[in-house]
Amino acid sequence: MTARLPGRPVAHRSRWWALAAAAFAAVLASCGVEQEQIPYSELKQHVDRGDVASVVVGERRIVATPTEDARAAGAPEAWRASPARPDPGLIPLLERKGVEYDGEGGSGAPHPAQALLVLLAAGSLMALVLYLRRNGLLAGIGGGALDVRDAGKRARGVRYADVAGIDEVKEELEEVVSFLKKPERFTQLGARAPKGVLLVGSPGTGKTLLARATAGEAGVPFYSVSASSFVEMFVGVGARRIRKLFEKARANTPCIVFIDELDAVGKGRSGGVGSNDEREQTLNQLLVELDGFDSADGIVVMAATNRPEVLDSALLRPGRFDRRITVNVPDRQGRLAILDVHARRIRLAASVDLGSVAGSTTGFAGADLANLLNEAALLAARAGCEEVGTAHLDAAIDRVLAGAQRKGQLLNDKERRIVAVHETGHAIVAERSGTSGPVRKISIVPRTVGALGFTQQLSEDRNLLQRDELLDRLRVLLGGRAAEEVVFGQVSTGAANDLERATVLARRMVCEFGMSTTLGPVRYVGGPTAPHLGDGGGEGPGPSAGTAADIDREIRLLLEEQAAAARALVEADRAALGAIAEALLQKEDLDRDEFLEHLRRHGDCSAVTM
């Protein structure tokens, strides 16, 4: 027997598979003798007409082979019939017509050659299945091997120095690193390290990178697996895969087991109609495994999710995932540190100011910033430049925020003028509003996200917003529509998205933030019949029909007031509105300096925000 070599060329394995498949097909073809089932009376008629060459007589069936002439006339390879009772006149009929006949030995057993062919077919099928399973082609069927990415060597190349912008999180994970390096420091004091660490945060904030860097910092094996790979359509597969994962971890302690997207298997168990028994069995096995080892065993389980609210409460109790660490979107200093890390592999021009880029990317996660630098490098390479400059970074920011330019979408002169007036209205209202962020750029170039233009503002990292700041945001959203009313005397469909966003914000102000002057400090969620969370976390009734009408009235009042305020600001800067719109029609894009120059020249200079 030849051993299978791990390094066998793919082409050789492909030829083996082709030969096995061809042999299997040939065996099946040899077994597939066409036999047509006919009534016994019809079989005797064929014998009487001389269409039968030979007959095999058994206790329960009779198989007749047609003559060559009968086959040429369209007869099958064999006829099969089952007499209702033994026929003593069959043998005399066969002898009279000169037909050869034989018996099956009285047991109805198949012919030895047929039995051999069946065995060959079964053996070929079994060999083919074993080959496919051995090469991983059937790994996902019937509980095959779990796709565990053993990243032990790779993890050692990732350290905390490669993770930037989330220093507080790294400090919390230092305890895990210390435990994996020197567990005796904890055990001699009677303390135990956390068995499970749950990383919670928005997509792209670096949860997986943190887990890998923790393993690299501790110098231990790192086993990464996606929670979705546990659950299959076959019952019991997920639980078996959980057991195999922890068996591998116990054999290689100390180590870190990382489960990505934990919510795929860790959702709360309902037990009602529509519950997923396989997923719940997998979750139960995971709970058992988390209880099945002690922290002194040297296994730390880390998991990541961006939906902690759906996790089963049994996962989050002490002794399982007993430490929860939130990985937030970085602030400006964090974004600058992340940009410095990813800029190591980018050839940046000396004039590039990453601090300015960090200030223009509020709300960007680490993955977004890495993608931003990569987009800038691609744009520079496409333009044939040797370095990535400020212009490439600005274009990359626009591409990430608003999508790529749709050069194939051409607007007629009327549509271009409407878009220019609309975006200028947003910009003027934003610049004249006291708490709104300064305008960075105005564009009337169509983008792939569906926008025909955009106005970008520079915003600060904020955790709390006051009522006047939210009112300013409503006013800016309605500024484009107000400018269309002032210039054209009517509005267009281009303000649909602005109205949607403004309505959502106004509803939150009234229903969630208690910022209504008439309804008071009450939180409303849903419609008249919708449930909402009460003080104790339970469900209570939603607002009554009368209160719902009051909510709609208050939302409409907020929007009407801010629409009127936006219109007043646009009318006060009517000359600047026309000049900036004309400049946009000529250049298509205006940066902040160009926008302020037109606003100073044609508007009230004292009102311009610097």
Catalytic residues, by residue number, are: 423
371, two tokens: 């993608």
Q: How far is CA 524 from the centre of its chain?
A: 32
- CA nearest to 79, candidates 91, 65, 90, 67: 65
Rounded distance between C-alpha atoms, residue 554 and residue 519, angstroms: 8
Which SS3 state, helix, strand or coil, does residue 164 take? Answer: coil
Number of helical (H) and strand (E) elements in the chain, helices listed first? 23, 16
Using alpha carbons only, give the angle 256, 261, 264 rounded to the nearest 5 degrees: 120
Strands (E), 131-266: 149-150, 196-201, 222-226, 255-260
Q: How many CB atoms sit inside 10 A of residue 383's CB? A: 11
Q: How far apart are CA 298 and CA 255, in angstroms?
A: 6
Residue written as token pair 């220093």:
167
d(CA 476, CA 567): 11
* C-alpha distances in Å from residue 288, one per residue of 243, 291, 315: 10, 5, 10
Q: How far apart are CA 232 and CA 246, in angstroms?
A: 18
**Within 10 A of 439 (CB to CB), how many other CB atoms are there?**
24
- Identify the helix (H) or strand (E) that includes residue 21: helix 10-31
| Cβ contact 573:486 at 8 Å | no
| Length, in residues, of the chain | 610
Is the sign of the CA dihedral 147, 148, 150, 156 positive or negative? Answer: positive
Q: How many Cα atoms sit within 13 Å of 525 on the Cβ side?
A: 9
- CB under 8 Å to 115, separation ≥6 — which residues? 109
Q: Do 82 and 98 touch, CB atoms closer than 8 A? A: no
Supply the angle between the helices 237-250 and 277-291 in degrees, to the nearest 10.
20
**Cβ-based neighbour number of residue 516 at 10 Å:** 21
Only one residue has tokens 């309902």, namely 270
Alpha-helical runs (H) found in 197-331: 207-218, 237-250, 263-266, 277-291
- Cβ–Cβ under 8 Å, residues 125 and 86: no
Per-residue exposure over 342-368, b if at least 16 CB sit within 10 Å of its own CB, e if not:
bbeebebeeebebeebbbbbbebbbeb
Helices (H), 57-160: 68-72, 90-97, 112-134, 152-155
How many angstroms separate the CA atoms of 130 and 143, rounded? Answer: 14
